[in-house]
Structure 1
Amino acid sequence: MHVKVLSWNIQWGRGAEGRVDLDRIASETRRIADADVICLQEVSAGYPDLPGCDGSDQFAALAARFPDYHAIAGAATDVAGPSMLRRLFGNMILSRYPVLRIGRQLLPWPSSPGVPSMQRIALEATLDTPLGPIRVTSTHLEYYSLEQRLAQVQRLRELHKEAVGHMRSTVSLQQVSAPFMAAPRAAAAILAGDFNFTPDSQEFSEMTALFDGGIPPYVDAWGRAHPGAAHVPTLGVHDKQQWPGPPFTTDFIFVSEDLAGLVDDVRVDSATTASDHQPVLLTLRQTT
């Protein structure tokens, strides 16, 4: 038994040649893998001013293209648009597995004068997988501000510590009722997305740092699957108009250490031109 998780910054469906095509995103996703869970970043609604975009609701459009999946939307940016419409920009999770719990956590956004930035989110779903409950998070950290990115890394770590603490709680769910009797928030975790940092960065080191109190740290799944091997580039591989320099890596999948032994493979699809980013696929195996 395997669990396959695909993560992809789809740049609102805009390919390397500048054309927005969600049908292509869907077909390329299926070509790459028969994924059980799909984590997407840069999904938009109400933004016709994005290059090539018609302003339609991509959250709904992607859900319609994956009818066999539970579709979970997480808008980081939610601002007023024309005619009572909202402008939304954020992440999605598509899951074949039952969804036990959903969390939408806005990440820190400290003021960075003179630096463009936007609100970011950690979209979290605890899924009932064949490997047991797993907390999957799709996220996208700030590009322009190191200060904001470091704050967001620390918040992601706090959320992981918080979730593990919830699972260790001795409070019996049978003693409470109504919304207090919540579905479990899994301790075992997969954290996927576009982190806008590189493998040799301070942010990467902090993301994978140890915790106090026996909290299982985040482990880079690529490093577990390919010890000693350099990360395959995920950005600027095909789109040389936006990224004229050498390609590099900003897209990762981290797993909590209690899942690290189940990492069977991690691969980057370097062929697709459907976005400026390349998709990353994690495969977990069930131990016998």
Structure 2
Amino acid sequence: MKLVTWNTQWCCGLDGVASPQRIVEQARALADFDLLCLQEIAQGYARLQGAPGDQPAQIAALLPGYRCFFGAAVDEFTADGRRQRFGNLIATRLPVAWVQHHALPWPADAGVRSMPRMASVVTVQEPLLGALRVTTTHLEYYSARQRLAQARALRALHEAQTELALAPPEASDDGSPFQTKRHTPHALLCGDFNAGADDAAVAAICGAATPHGLHDAWPLVHGRAPHAPTFRLFDRTYGPEPVACDFVFVSDGVAAHVRRIEVDLHTQASDHQPVLIELG
């Protein structure tokens, strides 16, 4: 199973052109992916650089054979009633069991620029592991307080979902919303965490001593080698040095199946670099 995760900056490249087609083409050049997890997908924000259009619809049209699930962290309207949405998108050609969208905490941090954040979850049927819970997210950039609260919420969500798999609700096949769900302890969490590997937010996700672990996938393959940079590789607007802030975390049962994880260090279709992970 191959998954590509990418903060697309609303599909806007360093040339200022917003192109969902280029994002899809370059993700496909990286891998024949089974899942594509994209952050910063826009709809209705014509004043953003590149004047993006209806990107969820555009990406769905570019991916025949895939099902696309868009989760809006921001869902608002202009003064003249035009809808604007901004968030994450998961596309997959694997069988889908169910979909969840979770708003993440947005605690007050006076005077600090910020926006709502959320996590999109799609539980798929993966050939090797069976049910696999795939979550993609994009944490707050400017507010460390909010970012840490969001990271802790992601860890709590993983704990709760794993507990549901180990102690499931009453089974039901009545065809109602109470019917049995595909709960699973097998999980993969990916996205832009806006934090380095040694940041408190990352520690909150994979450093906590709890019964149900999450592990940074990079050292599972590369050992002590530093993470490849995923941000500020070409554009230094937000800082002087390249950094890694786009990660993939996997649960205990998935960790042994991580075969490959790598970063595309060449594309300039976004201000972030895409990350590929392969399970086998």
3-state SS, counterpart of residue 117 of structure 1: coil
Query: Identity, % of aligned pairs?
Result: 40
Aligned mate of 1:59, from 49, 56, 60: 56
Residue matched to 1:222: 218
The equivalent residue for 1:264 is 259
The alpha-carbon deviation at position 177 of structure 1 amounts to 5.5
Q: Which moved more, 1:103-112 or 1:84-93?
A: 84-93
Q: Which residue does 2:134 correspond to in 1?
A: 136
Give the CA deviation at 1:74. 0.3
Tell me the equivalent position of 1:99. Answer: 96
CA positional deviation for 1:182: 3.7
- Give CA deviations for 1:37-73 in whole Å, capped at 9, x if unaligned: 010000000101111124x210111111111111000
Deviation beyond 4 Å, 4+ runs, structure 1? none
Match of 2:46 in 1: 48
- Describe the superposition over 1:91-133 as per-residue Cα deviations: whole angstroms up to 9, x where unpaired: 0000110110100000000011010100001000100110211
- How far apart, CA to CA, are the structure 2 residues paired with 1:238 and 1:210? 33
**Residue range with higher mean Cα deviation, 66-75 or 177-186:** 177-186
Secondary structure at the counterpart of residue 22 of structure 2: helix
Matched, 1:112 2:114: no
Residue identity matched to 1:127: V
| Residues 1:112 and 1:259: Cα distance change in structure 2 (over 3 Å) | same
CA distance in 2, matches of 1:232, 1:53: 31
Question: How far, CA to CA, are the matches of 1:72 and 1:185 in structure 2?
Answer: 19
The 1:178–1:32 alpha-carbon spacing in structure 2 relative to 1, beyond 3 Å, is same
For structure 2, the residue ranges without an aligned partner over 5 or more in a row are none
How far the C-alpha of 1:169 sits from its partner, in A, is 1.9
**Aligned residue pair count:** 279
How far did residue 201 of structure 1 move? 1.2
- Aligned mates of 2:259, 2:11 — CA distance in 1: 29
The answer to whether the Cα contact below 8 Å between 2:77 and 2:84 also exists between their aligned partners in 1 is yes
TM-score by length of 2: 0.96
Give the letter for the 1:58 counterpart.
Q
**In structure 2, what residue type is equivalent to 1:277?**
H
Offset, 1:165: 1.2
Determine if contact 2:221/2:259 at 8 Å carries over to the other structure.
Answer: yes
User: Match for residue 149 of structure 2?
Assistant: 151
CA contact (8 A) 1:99 1:126 kept: yes
Q: Map of 1:1-288 to 2, 5 A cutoff? A: 3-54=1-52, 56-81=53-78, 83-131=80-128, 132-174=130-172, 178-212=176-210, 214-215=211-212, 217-240=213-236, 242-243=237-238, 245-285=240-280
SS at match of 2:183: coil
> Do the aligned partners of 1:46 and 1:81 also contact (CA within 8 Å) in 2?
no
Do the aligned residues in 1 keep the contact of 2:173 with 2:180 (CA within 8 Å)?
Answer: no
Contact 2:259 2:279 in 1 (8 A): yes
Instruction: Extract unaligned runs of 5+ from structure 1.
Output: none
Q: Return the offset for 1:168.
A: 1.4
For the aligned residue pairs, the C-alpha RMSD in angstroms reads 1.4
Shift of the alpha carbon at 1:83? 4.3
Contact 2:8 2:39 (C-alpha < 8 Å) held by counterparts: yes
User: Does the Cα contact within 8 Å between 1:121 and 1:139 map onto a contact in 2?
Assistant: yes
Could you list the per-position Cα deviations for residues 239-274 of structure 1 after superposition, in whole angstroms to 9, with x for gaps in the alignment? 23x245111111000001211000101000001010
3-state SS, counterpart of residue 10 of structure 2? helix
Corresponding letter in the other structure for 1:141: L
Distance 2:239 2:156 in 1: 36
CA contact 1:6–1:282 (8 Å) conserved in 2:
yes
Letter in 1 for 2:126: T
Q: Give TM-score, length-normalised by structure 1.
A: 0.93
